[in-house]
């Protein structure tokens, strides 16, 4: 039987090959897991993360009311629909933690009319902002009994808020502000057939820029604001 020295001598090439292979494998593993640094005596590892500012203004859907005998039966309930305008803000690395925006309700076309001598509300608009229910909008009539604005015969652009500020100190999550609009047809106990097949066309607007008051006045009860308003 060969002694140990003879065995090592005869298998020297194999042992050297195994050692080199082991060193190579360890070297590859270290290169894979170790962070990359520049060669040098004082090499540093610098990690930077850029946070991009995001400011979003959206409306979740259109308000749709289909007034007919099925949706508004005689002696039935009121009939309405709701949409939400939202401002979402997450600041970036530029240090700007506050943004501002404007909210409007634009009645583009309204063929409705009062069907009672008392001029009872037949189209009611309710708006809830980040601070609660809104009960005052210029000279718009507020119906305290129904707790909303009477828009039965209103037309034109209605400014709801602005410039309204949204503030966020965190780069990691959004701050949201919601504006909830609910339009309701009031089912009275009287004959409302004069309002059958009538059109009420309006849009909720939330945007960064203010709409010029003079332009809004000239365009009242018309569609000429379409050129300066966002498409729906």
Q: Within a domain: residue 18?
A: yes
Same domain, 87 and 10: no
Segment 9-21 mean pLDDT? 45
Can you read off the two tokens belonging to residue 63?
Answer: 């308000």
Q: Are residues 100 and 206 in the same domain?
A: yes
Residues 8 and 102 in one domain: no
Same structural domain for residues 139 and 169?
yes
**Do 20 and 103 reside in the same domain of the chain?**
no
Predicted pLDDT of residue 168: 96
Are residue 122 and residue 25 in the same domain, yes or no?
Answer: no
The string of pLDDT tens digits covering residues 122-172 is 999 999 999 999 999 989 999 999 999 999 999 999 999 999 999 999 988
Q: Domain residues for 14?
A: 4-33
Residue 225 has what pLDDT?
54
Strands (E), the chain: 54-59, 79-90, 98-110, 123-129, 132-133, 142-143, 148-150, 156-167, 175-185, 200-207
Does 40 map to a domain? no
Tokens 């018309």 found at: 222
Shared-domain flag, residues 13 and 99: no
pLDDT for res 219: 54
77 plus 18 within the same structural domain? no
Domain count along the chain: 2
- 69-96 pLDDT, tens per residue? 788 888 889 999 999 999 999 998 877 8
Please state, in angstroms and as integers, the Cα–Cα distance from residue 106 to each residue in 100, 126, 220, 226, following that order. Answer: 20, 14, 9, 10
In a domain, 223, yes or no: yes
pLDDT at 38 over 80: no
- pLDDT score of 67: 81
Task: Put residue 93 in one of left, alpha, beta given phi > 0 → left and psi -120 to 50 → alpha.
Answer: alpha
Answer whether residue 48 is part of any domain. no
Six-digit token string for 66: 């289909």
Q: Do 20 and 106 fall within a single domain?
A: no
Would you state the pLDDT for residue 226?
55
Query: Do 130 and 196 fall into the same domain?
Result: yes
For residue 216, tell me if it sits in a domain.
Answer: yes
| Residues forming a β-bridge with 180 | 84, 128
**Under a CB-based contact definition with an 8 Å cutoff, are residues 152 and 113 in contact?**
yes
Residue 15 is encoded by which pair of tokens? 């042992």
User: The whole model's pTM is what?
Assistant: 0.73
Q: How many CA atoms lie within 13 A of 96 on its CB side?
A: 11
Q: Is 22 helix (H, G, I), strand (E, B) or coil?
A: helix
Q: How would you list the strands of the sheet with 200-207, edge to edge?
A: 156-167, 98-110, 200-207
Specify the pLDDT at position 74: 82
- On the question of pLDDT at 228 being above 60, the answer is no
**Does 71 lie in the same domain as 26?**
no
46 domain-assigned: no
pLDDT for res 15: 44
Contact 174, 89 (CB under 8 A): yes
Same domain, yes or no: 87 and 16? no
More confident residue, 194 or 218: 194
- Domain annotation covers residue 14: yes
187, part of any domain: yes
């Amino acid at each position: 039987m060969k002694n140990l020295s003879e065995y090592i001598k005869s298998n020297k090439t194999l042992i050297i090959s195994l050692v080199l292979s082991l060193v190579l494998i360890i070297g590859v593993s270290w290169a894979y897991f170790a962070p990359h640094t520049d060669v040098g005596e004082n090499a540093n590892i610098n990690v930077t993360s850029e946070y991009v500012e995001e400011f979003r203004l959206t409306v979740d859907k259109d308000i749709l009311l289909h007034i007919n005998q099925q949706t508004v039966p005689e002696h039935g309930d009121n009939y309405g629909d709701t949409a939400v305008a939202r401002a979402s803000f997450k600041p970036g690395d530029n240090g700007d933690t506050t943004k501002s925006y404007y909210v409007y309700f634009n009645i583009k076309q309204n063929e409705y009319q009062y069907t009672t001598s008392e001029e009872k509300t037949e189209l009611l608009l309710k708006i809830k902002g980040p601070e609660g229910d809104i009960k005052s909008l210029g000279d718009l009539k507020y119906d305290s009994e129904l707790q909303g604005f009477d828009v039965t015969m209103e037309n034109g652009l209605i400014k709801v808020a602005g410039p309204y500020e949204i503030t966020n100190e965190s780069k990691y999550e959004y701050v949201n502000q919601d504006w909830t609009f609910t339009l309701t047809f009031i089912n009275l106990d009287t004959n409302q057939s004069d309002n059958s097949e009538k059109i009420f066309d309006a849009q909720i607007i939330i945007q960064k820029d203010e709409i010029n008051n003079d332009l809004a006045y000239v365009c009242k009860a018309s569609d000429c604001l379409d050129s300066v308003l966002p498409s729906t």
